[in-house]
Amino acid sequence: MKEPFGAVDGGKVYLYTLRNASGIEARITNYGGIIVSLKVPDRKGALGDVVLGYDSVASYVRATPYFGCLIGRYGNRIAGGKFSLGGREYTLATNDGPNHLHGGIKGFDKVVWSVHESESVPGKTLVLTYVSKDGEEGYPGRLDVRVVYSLTDSNEIKVSYTAKTDKPTIVNLTQHSYFNLAGPGDGTILGHELMIAADRFTPIDATFIPTGELRPVQGTPLDFTSFKEIGSRIKEDDEQLRYGLGYDHNFVLSKAEGTFGLAARVYEPTTGRVMEVLTSEPGIQFYSGNFLDGSHVGKGGKPYQHRYGFCLETQHYPDSPNHPDFPSTVLKPGEEYSTVTLYRFSVKH
């Protein structure tokens, strides 16, 4: 189903609804590829929205901390807004303190994507494409990007990304939904129980840039190798929690690089909802909504207060172009960037 969702820069944007046999419903707009709502059942079978967002596209345009959107060309941070490739230094916008964040001033979250309705399966898949021109936001090469959202009858949202370039460039795409499995605007996420399939993480400095170390999580508040309440250790006196203002860290997934597997699992006790994240990416950023402060008034007029949502962003590591030991984010002509992330929903009785 397709319906108008307002206008951006004088052009109409639309809301597309995917729905499966179990009644799960995803509503996605082609502005920023944003998942506007995602309704999944609780243990009683009642459907409820589990993502933060707004009622109108104008609110997303006006001010948003990346609610629900596609991120590119480069998800997460690049130190000093600079990287070198092929012997040349490239300069990007510094839109997060001294660093570059989430693609710059006008990243993929702020553009209108083309919808390929002839390739999309109504109610099941949505095919989005965007052409990022050579030099856009300072990145080299024309990048042709394709993202396919699929809603399966196994209660999964699958996000498939592909991209090609005509010059060597860097690419790190992700999906930036904020989740609250109890419902958006209905309290903090501190009581959610989280497991991350990672025994190492990339420590950050005071500006959120990785130091280059791959540090074991064991013995730290970042150990989520077994289920822990998100809020159980978030206020501990720990340097990494102080730097991140809570959790805002990349975890090094334990699965073999390049393979598809489990990255994280979340359980919300009051509703029984369970979300699993599976990916082909080597890392996942866990963000505990530290910068939410009530200034963003969301769906139904509810303000999103401190830690009312969390993100699990599948990715290559932050600042990879400046860390040769990290898995490479370089894409060359003739190659295809290809990655898949899947969000699977169930209930625990």
313 is annotated as an active-site residue:
yes
Q: Of 119, 62, 125, 76, nearest to 296 (Cα)?
A: 62
pLDDT at position 1 is: 87
Cα separation, 157 vs 51, in Å, equals: 13
Q: Which two tokens mark 69?
A: 């959107």
* Helix (H/G/I), strand (E/B), else coil: 61: helix
Domain harbouring 84, CATH code: 2.70.98.10
pLDDT band at 11 (very low <50, low <70, confident <90, very high): confident
Q: Which residues of 16-38 are buried (b: 16+ CB within 10 A; e: fewer)?
A: bbbbbebebbbbbbbbbbbbbbb
Catalytic residue of the set 100, 102, 176, 192: 176
In total, how many domains does the chain have?
1
281 is annotated as an active-site residue:
no
pLDDT at position 46 is: 96
What pLDDT, in 10s, does the model give residues 181-192? 999 888 999 999
Average pLDDT over residues 102-125: 95
Question: Across all residues in the chain, what is the average pLDDT?
Answer: 97
Cβ(287)–Cβ(66) under 8 Å?
Answer: no
Cα separation, 270 vs 230, in Å, equals: 15
Catalytic residue of the set 192, 193, 313, 316: 313
pLDDT at position 145 is: 98
Average pLDDT over residues 216-238: 98
Torsion of CA 234, 239, 245, 246, to 10 degrees: -30
Q: Domain range for residue 279?
A: 2-347
Cα separation, 227 vs 264, in Å, equals: 10
pLDDT band at 42 (very low <50, low <70, confident <90, very high): very high
Average pLDDT over residues 127-154: 98
pLDDT band at 337 (very low <50, low <70, confident <90, very high): very high
Cβ(9)–Cβ(315) under 8 Å?
Answer: no
Looking from the CA of 68 toward its CB, the CA atoms found within 13 Å total 29
Q: Which two tokens mark 331?
A: 């894409």
Specify the pTM.
0.98
Q: What pairs with residue 89 in β-bridges? A: 84
Q: List phi, psi (to 5°) of 17.
A: -110, 125
For the chain, the residue count is 349
Average pLDDT over residues 17-39: 97
Q: What pairs with residue 274 in β-bridges? A: 267, 346
pLDDT above 90 as % of the chain: 95
pLDDT at position 333 is: 98
